[in-house]
């Protein structure tokens, strides 16, 4: 069972991602950004877990793109707690397809948000990101070949103690069609085993295979720079900006 960025209830977000992909990204991403000095755009910044990592590992100005008001609220609070970050990070209240910054950036980072875009939206996404990147700029995102998704019953995906409460995440695949998966998630808070709060989210995600992604990025003017443990780095060809 997978979990995606856009389906996570905000109070559960850091609990789940710290228990998921974030530790691995903290290990894999810094070497890819070691030469970045001026500017980074992060697509789908969420609550700022990866934003904070980018700020630690580079001296760059950061554009954090996040359409969710709830996520942005946590992100800005996180920035306010860390000296110097408020002056380095610009939080953009829009989605990836609408982003536009004043000068092309050196790098775009997109962690665990690609599945929020269907095939038509991805075509637009690559073009938008190409316009935001300088020639030779770096595009980094994580991707693994999707395993088969089979509709099934609810299963518990995570359980986290918070004071005297337990935060539980349950999920199930409802249906699949090609690269598209519709899933249901329950976010429960329990006290001494009794349910005291529950939120339900039904999400649609898209899981393209690697061959499809390679063809899309090649058509958009990118060339593969590095492939390491599911973290892909692409370079924008110098004359490919549309």
Question: In the predicted model, what is the mean pLDDT of residues 63-76?
Answer: 96
- Return the pLDDT at 16: 93
Q: Cα(first)–Cα(last) distance of the chain, in Å?
A: 38
Work out the pLDDT band at 237, boundaries 50, 70, 90: very high
Residue/partner pairs of 120-123 with CB below 8 Å, 24 or more apart: 121/97, 122/206, 122/208, 122/216, 123/216, 123/220
Work out the pLDDT band at 228, boundaries 50, 70, 90: confident
- Return the pLDDT at 141: 97
What is the C-alpha radius of gyration for the chain, rounded to an integer number of angstroms? 18
**DSSP string spanning 174-230?**
EEEETTEEEEEEEEEEEETTEEEEEEEEEEEEE---HHHHHHHHHHTTEEEEEEETT
- Return the pLDDT at 197: 97
Asked if pLDDT for residue 4 goes beyond 80, the answer is: no
- Return the pLDDT at 180: 95
What are residue 102's DSSP bridge partners? none
- Return the pLDDT at 7: 62
Q: Tokens standing for 174?
A: 């409802």
Pairing of strands 39-43, 61-65: parallel
Which residues contact residue 80 at a Cβ distance below 8 angstroms, ignoring those fewer than 6 apart?
86
- Return the pLDDT at 240: 45
Question: In the predicted model, what is the mean pLDDT of residues 165-176?
Answer: 97
Asked if pLDDT for residue 2 goes beyond 60, the answer is: no
With pLDDT > 90 as the criterion, what percentage of the chain qualifies?
88
Q: Mind listing the pLDDT tens digit for each residue in 15-55? A: 999 988 899 999 999 999 999 999 999 999 999 999 999 99
Q: Mind listing the pLDDT tens digit for each residue in 96-140? A: 999 999 999 999 999 999 999 999 999 999 999 999 999 999 999
| Average pLDDT value for the chain | 93
| CA neighbours closer than 13 Å in the CB half-sphere of residue 80 | 6
DSSP tag of 44: S
Asked if pLDDT for residue 167 goes beyond 90, the answer is: yes
């Amino acid at each position: 069972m997978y979990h995606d960025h856009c389906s996570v209830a905000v109070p559960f977000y850091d609990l789940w991602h710290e228990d998921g992909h974030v530790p691995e990204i903290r290990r894999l991403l810094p070497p890819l950004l070691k030469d970045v000095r001026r500017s980074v755009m992060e697509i789908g910044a969420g609550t700022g877990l990866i934003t904070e990592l980018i700020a630690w590992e580079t001296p760059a100005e950061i554009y954090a793109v996040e359409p969710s008001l709830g996520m942005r609220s946590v992100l800005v609070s996180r920035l306010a707690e860390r000296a110097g970050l408020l002056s380095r990070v610009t939080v953009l209240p829009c989605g990836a397809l609408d982003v536009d910054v004043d000068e092309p950036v050196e790098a775009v980072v997109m962690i665990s948000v690609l599945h929020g875009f269907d095939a038509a939206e991805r075509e637009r996404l690559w073009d938008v990101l190409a316009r935001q990147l300088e020639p030779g700029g770096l595009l980094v995102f994580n991707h693994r070949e999707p395993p088969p998704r089979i509709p099934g019953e609810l299963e518990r995906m995570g359980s986290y103690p918070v004071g005297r409460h337990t935060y539980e995440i349950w999920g199930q695949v409802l249906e699949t069609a090609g690269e598209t998966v519709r899933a249901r998630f329950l976010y429960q808070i329990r006290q001494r085993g009794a349910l005291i709060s529950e939120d339900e989210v039904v999400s649609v995600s898209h899981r393209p295979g690697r061959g499809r992604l390679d063809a899309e990025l090649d058509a958009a003017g990118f060339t593969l720079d590095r492939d390491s443990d599911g973290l892909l780095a692409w370079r924008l060809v110098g004359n490919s900006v549309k």
